[in-house]
Structure 1
Amino acid sequence: MEHISAFATLIAYSAVLFGIGLWAAQRAKSQEAFLLGGRNLGPVVAGLAYAASSSSAWVLLGFSGFVYAAGPSALWMVPGILAGYAVVWLWAGKVLQVASREQGHLTLTDFMSEHAGPRSARWIRIVASLMIAFCFAYYVASQFQGAGVAFDGLFGIGLVNGVLIGALVIVAYTFLGGFLAVSLIDTLQGLLMAVVAVILPAAAFMAAGGLEGLNTALSAMPATYTDTFGGRTGFVATGFVVGLFATGFGALGQPHLIAWIMAARDQRARVTGAGIAIGWGALVYAGMGILGLSARVLFGADAPAEGVFFQTASDLLPAIFAGVIAAATLSAIMSTVDSQLLVAGAAISHDLGLAKALGGRDVLVSRMAILAVCLAALMITFALPSTIFDRTLFAWTALGASFGPTVVARTLGHKPRGVFLLLSILVGFGLSLAYEFFLPSGPGSIWARTVPWIGAFAVLAIGALITKIRAKDEFALGESG
Structure 2
Amino acid sequence: MTDYTYQLLAIIIYLAGMLAIGWYAYRRTANLTDYMLGGRSLGPAVTALSAGAADMSGWLLMGLPGAIYVSGLSEAWMAIGLTIGAYLNWLFVAPRLRVYTQVSSNSITIPSYLDSRLKDNSKILRIASGLIILVFFTFYVSSGMVAGGVFFESSFNMSYHGGLLLVSAVVIAYTLFGGFLAVSYTDFVQGLIMFLALILVPLFGFFLTGGFGETTESIRSVNPHAFSLVKGVSFAAIISSAAWGLGYFGQPHIIVRFMAIKSVKETKQARRIGIGWMALSLIGASATALIGIAYFKQHPGASLSDPEAIFIALGQIIFHPFIAGVLLAAVLAAIMSTISSQLIVTSSALVEDLYKAIIKNDEDDKKYVFYGRMAILIISLIAMYFAWEKNATILDLVSFAWAGFGAAFGPTILLSLYWRKINSIGALSGMVIGAVTVIVWGNIEALSSTLYEIIPGFILNFIVTMAVSALTHKPNKAIDQEFEEALEMLDRERK
Same fold (TM > 0.5)? yes
Residue 27 of structure 1 deviates from its aligned partner by 2.4
Structure 2 CA distance, aligned partners of 1:268 and 1:187? 20
Residue 401 of structure 1 deviates from its aligned partner by 0.8
Structure 2 CA distance, aligned partners of 1:332 and 1:14? 13
Structure 1 CA distance, aligned partners of 2:79 and 2:429? 32
Question: What aligned pairs does 1:417-436 form with structure 2 within 5 A after superposition?
Answer: 417-436=423-442
Residue 10 of structure 1 deviates from its aligned partner by 2.1
Residue pair 2:422, 2:470 contacting (<8 A) in 1 also = no
Deviations 1:311-357 (A, max 9, x none): 22223323332123213542343111111100000001101125863
1:262 aligned onto 2:265: no
Aligned to 2:286: 289
Residue 281 of structure 1 deviates from its aligned partner by 0.1
Residue pair 2:65, 2:308 contacting (<8 A) in 1 also = yes
Question: What aligned pairs does 1:337-356 form with structure 2 within 5 A after superposition?
Answer: 337-354=339-356
1:151 aligned onto 2:142: no
Residue pair 1:58, 1:388 contacting (<8 A) in 2 also = no
Residue pair 2:215, 2:291 contacting (<8 A) in 1 also = yes
Structure 1 CA distance, aligned partners of 2:235 and 2:417? 29
More displaced stretch, 123-132 vs 377-386: 377-386
Residue pair 1:150, 1:310 contacting (<8 A) in 2 also = no
Deviations 1:271-310 (A, max 9, x none): 1111100000001111111112333444589632332222
Partner SS for 2:392 = coil
More displaced stretch, 247-256 vs 145-154: 145-154
Structure 1 CA distance, aligned partners of 2:447 and 2:19? 39
Residue pair 1:58, 1:389 contacting (<8 A) in 2 also = no
Residue 424 of structure 1 deviates from its aligned partner by 1.5
Structure 2 CA distance, aligned partners of 1:220 and 1:307? 22
Partner SS for 2:196 = helix
Residue 146 of structure 1 deviates from its aligned partner by 2.8
- Structure 1 counterpart of 2:283, one-letter code: A
Aligned to 2:490: none
Deviations 1:415-458 (A, max 9, x none): 4323321122122222222343333687x853423011112112
Partner SS for 1:241 = helix
In structure 2, runs of 5+ residues without a counterpart are 298-302, 476-495
Question: What aligned pairs does 1:78-477 form with structure 2 within 5 A after superposition?
Answer: 78-103=79-104, 104-120=106-122, 122-221=123-222, 227-232=228-233, 237-299=234-296, 303-354=305-356, 357=360, 359-360=363-364, 361-383=367-389, 385-386=391-392, 390-439=396-445, 446-467=451-472
Structure 2 CA distance, aligned partners of 1:205 and 1:147? 29
Deviations 1:345-390 (A, max 9, x none): 0001101125863945211111122122222322333446338974
Residue pair 1:63, 1:389 contacting (<8 A) in 2 also = no
Partner SS for 1:177 = helix
- Cα 1:389/1:294, change in 2 over 3 Å: farther
Structure 1 CA distance, aligned partners of 2:208 and 2:113? 50
Residue pair 2:422, 2:466 contacting (<8 A) in 1 also = no
More displaced stretch, 238-247 vs 170-179: 238-247
Residue 222 of structure 1 deviates from its aligned partner by 5.7
Structure 2 CA distance, aligned partners of 1:386 and 1:225? 29
In structure 1, runs of 5+ residues without a counterpart are 472-481
- Cα 1:387/1:283, change in 2 over 3 Å: farther
Residue pair 1:83, 1:249 contacting (<8 A) in 2 also = no
Report the count of equivalent residues.
Answer: 464
Residue 97 of structure 1 deviates from its aligned partner by 0.9
- Structure 2 counterpart of 1:350, one-letter code: E
- Cα 1:293/1:142, change in 2 over 3 Å: farther
- Cα 1:320/1:353, change in 2 over 3 Å: closer
Structure 2 CA distance, aligned partners of 1:413 and 1:118? 16
Residue 403 of structure 1 deviates from its aligned partner by 0.3
More displaced stretch, 62-71 vs 266-275: 62-71
Residue pair 1:55, 1:336 contacting (<8 A) in 2 also = yes
More displaced stretch, 53-62 vs 28-37: 53-62
Residue pair 2:241, 2:452 contacting (<8 A) in 1 also = no
Aligned to 1:477: none
- Cα 1:88/1:368, change in 2 over 3 Å: same
Residue 99 of structure 1 deviates from its aligned partner by 0.7
Residue pair 1:65, 1:306 contacting (<8 A) in 2 also = yes
Structure 1 CA distance, aligned partners of 2:186 and 2:378? 22
- Cα 1:46/1:141, change in 2 over 3 Å: same
Structure 1 CA distance, aligned partners of 2:209 and 2:435? 43
Structure 1 CA distance, aligned partners of 2:375 and 2:67? 33
Deviations 1:209-256 (A, max 9, x none): 443334333433467866422413xxxx22222211111121110111
Structure 2 CA distance, aligned partners of 1:294 and 1:257? 31
Structure 1 CA distance, aligned partners of 2:296 and 2:388? 29
Q: Percent identity?
A: 30
